Each structure stands twice: as C-alpha cells, then as structure tokens.
C-alpha cells in the first residue's frame, strides 16, 4: 500500500501508481452531494480543494480518514503555500477541510477533526472595487437603438436591477416572473443556503423591468418562468450576464474592468455612504454575518478620506 500515515515527509508516488481522485472517493462524493444548495462555482471550489486532500492521503499511504492528523493538515497547507497558494486561498482550503471532517465525524468515518486547530497564514484584506456614482449611472443608461430593441431592454433591466438591489449574479439568473412584484416594487430573492429575502426595487429599475416585460413574451413560450432569457427563450446563464456586463462597460466608455459583483459592491458602498446603517445593508445583501458587510465601512472611510483630502485646508497638497 505504501508508506503509513506517520511518514509525512515522504516523496510522491511514482507516475504509474493509481492515485485516487476526489471523483472516485465515495466519502468525498457523498459530502459534495450535500452541497446542492450552493452555487456551481462554490461546489467546484470544494471539489478542487478536496482533491488535494485525497491526493495527499494517497501519497502518504493512509487507508482511513481517522489516520489523518493535525500534523498532516499542516504539511498539506505548507506544501500548498510553497506551491504559491496565497493566504486567502489557504484559508478557504482549511475551511473546506474543517467542514468535510465535521461531516466525517458525524457519519462515524473519522474520530476527530484534524483541521480544527490549524491556522493558515494571515491574508491581507483586499477591499472590493466599486464604481463611483457617476460611473454606475453611465453604465446603466443604455440608450434606445444601441442594440436590437429586445436585447437593449433586457440588458438595461439586468443592470438596473443588479445595481438597485445588490444581487449576486446567481440570484439574478435564478429569478422567475413570480419573484417580481412591480406594484410593491420588490423582488423575492433566493440567496446562499437557500435563504429567501425580499429586496426593494428602485424606480429606475422598475421602469426598466416594465419595458423588458413588454418585450419578453415575444422571446418565449408562455410556460417559461425565468425572468431573464437568452434570445432563443432559455434561462439566461451567469456566464452570459458576465459577458453582457463587460460588453456594456466597454461600450459606455468605462475605463475599468466591470463584472456583475462590482455592481453589488457599488450598491452596498453607495447605500452605506448615504445611510450609514450597516445592519440594513447586511439585510439587503443577504449576508449571514455582519463581519462580511463591515468591509464596506472601509470603502466608506476611503470616500471620507478623499473628501477630507480635497476639502480640508490643512490637507490640501500645494
């Protein structure tokens, strides 16, 4: 079988060995099946991280999950760090390992969680990039006649809704017609962990949606429920939305790379700048933990610092 678990400094197996992969490990597959509520992107990230654990276990000849100890997890993290994985990715890897071993302990496949007390190198906190108010307004102001009428109406509704509500792209493409209440100016969103929330819709987004809904019936059969459609009537994909956002940013003359999540960041930072109510922004974004929302207070401080630097007589550069 190869070296036992205690030989954690051994060399990888020879190329001819049939090292197990995450796809062939039944415990990994049963765990991944529990993640169906997560986005495909998240599921793919978990699969990649667990593949590293499966390969590590095979290299060191461990036959059972209970043989994996904290020292093995530290060696795996060190290997990935030497291989160039940054602190943020290492933290995610550890988070995946902790969740997986919790699952194994509950199922009796492991006796302890070896990743529980292991810490990854601290990652520098990166502030999300956001558009300023003028840039956001320029992006969503799609003039009639700039594209085929139906496409322009759909894309403006997409951009207005994402900026108005701070939606994740997965939440946007998952919307059905029944989720939109234009009379009450709100949408019902299914977020992470299948948690539902209601988000108010601004008047510009309401008008854009009304225009799109007048066009939409010519694109699809009556029984199709998806709010946003591709030209042939199928539900629009997240990838297609990313491409359309990038295309419109270029056409509208924005000199920065714009992606759907940047509209969510812009929504959060602009609302927080205006109201200062962190709890309200947390509810609107659907964050389970307010610490996730607090990053926007740093964006707000940057805005205040710029105002101070430009306005205060003792701060101005001569």
What distance in Å separates the CA atoms of residue 189 and residue 26, rounded to the nearest whole number?
34
Name which of 77, 115, 78, 111 is nearest 98 in CA terms: 115
Q: Is 204 a catalytic residue?
A: no
Catalytic residue, from 52, 244, 264, 265: name it: 264
Q: Where are the alpha helices (DSSP H) in the chain?
A: 26-32, 40-59, 70-82, 87-106, 133-140, 149-165, 169-173, 203-215, 238-251, 260-275, 278-285, 290-293, 295-311
Catalytic residue, from 31, 46, 163, 296: name it: 296
Q: Is 287 a catalytic residue?
A: yes
Q: Residue 101 is encoded by which pair of tokens?
A: 């071993």
- Helix orientation angle between 238-251 and 149-165, rounded to the nearest 10 degrees: 100
Residues 6+ apart with CB under 8 A from 309: 315, 316
Residue 249 burial class via C-beta count within 10 angstroms: exposed 0-12, middle 13-18, buried 19 and up: buried
What distance in Å separates the CA atoms of residue 42 and residue 44, rounded to the nearest whole number?
5
Alpha-carbon separation of residue 118 from 69, 137, 215, 254, 312 (angstroms): 10, 46, 55, 43, 47
Q: Is 270 a catalytic residue?
A: no
Q: Is 168 a catalytic residue?
A: yes
Catalytic residue, from 168, 216, 244, 270: name it: 168
DSSP 35: G
Catalytic residue, from 47, 154, 261, 265: name it: 261
Catalytic residue, from 207, 259, 287, 303: name it: 287
Catalytic residue, from 81, 102, 192, 207: name it: 192
What distance in Å separates the CA atoms of residue 260 and residue 236, rounded to the nearest whole number?
14
> Which DSSP string do the residues of 259-291 spell out, in sequence order?
-HHHHHHHHHHHHHHHH--HHHHHHHHT-SSHH
Catalytically active residues are: 168, 192, 261, 264, 287, 296
């Amino acid at each position: 079988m190869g070296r036992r678990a205690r030989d954690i400094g051994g060399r990888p197996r020879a190329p001819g060995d049939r090292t197990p992969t995450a796809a062939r490990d039944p415990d990994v597959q049963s765990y991944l099946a529990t993640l169906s509520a997560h986005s495909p992107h998240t599921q793919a990230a978990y699969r990649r991280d667990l593949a590293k654990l499966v390969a590590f276990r095979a290299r060191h000849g461990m036959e059972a999950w209970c043989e994996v100890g904290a020292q093995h997890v530290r060696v795996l993290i060190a290997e990935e760090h030497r291989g160039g994985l940054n602190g943020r990715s290492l933290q995610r890897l550890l988070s995946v390992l902790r969740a997986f071993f919790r699952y194994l302990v509950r199922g009796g496949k492991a006796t302890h969680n070896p990743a529980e007390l292991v810490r990854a190198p601290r990652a520098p906190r990166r502030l999300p990039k956001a558009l300023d108010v003028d840039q956001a307004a320029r992006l969503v102001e799609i003039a009639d006649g700039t594209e085929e009428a139906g496409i322009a109406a759909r894309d403006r509704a997409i951009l207005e809704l994402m900026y108005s509500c701070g939606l994740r792209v997965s939440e946007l493409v998952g919307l059905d017609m029944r989720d939109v209440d234009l009379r009450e100016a709100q949408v019902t969103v299914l977020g992470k962990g299948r948690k539902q929330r209601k988000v108010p819709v601004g008047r510009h987004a309401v008008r854009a949606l009304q225009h799109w809904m007048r066009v939409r019936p010519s694109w699809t059969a009556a029984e199709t429920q998806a709010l946003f459609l591709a030209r042939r009537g199928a539900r629009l994909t997240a990838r297609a939305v990313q491409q359309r956002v990038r295309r419109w940013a270029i056409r509208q003359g924005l000199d920065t790379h714009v992606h759907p999540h940047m509209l969510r960041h812009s929504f959060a930072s602009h609302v927080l700048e205006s109201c200062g109510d962190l709890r309200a922004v947390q509810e609107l974004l659907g964050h389970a933990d307010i610490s996730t929302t607090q990053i926007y207070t740093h964006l707000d401080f940057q805005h205040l610092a710029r105002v101070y630097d430009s306005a205060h007589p003792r701060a101005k550069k001569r």
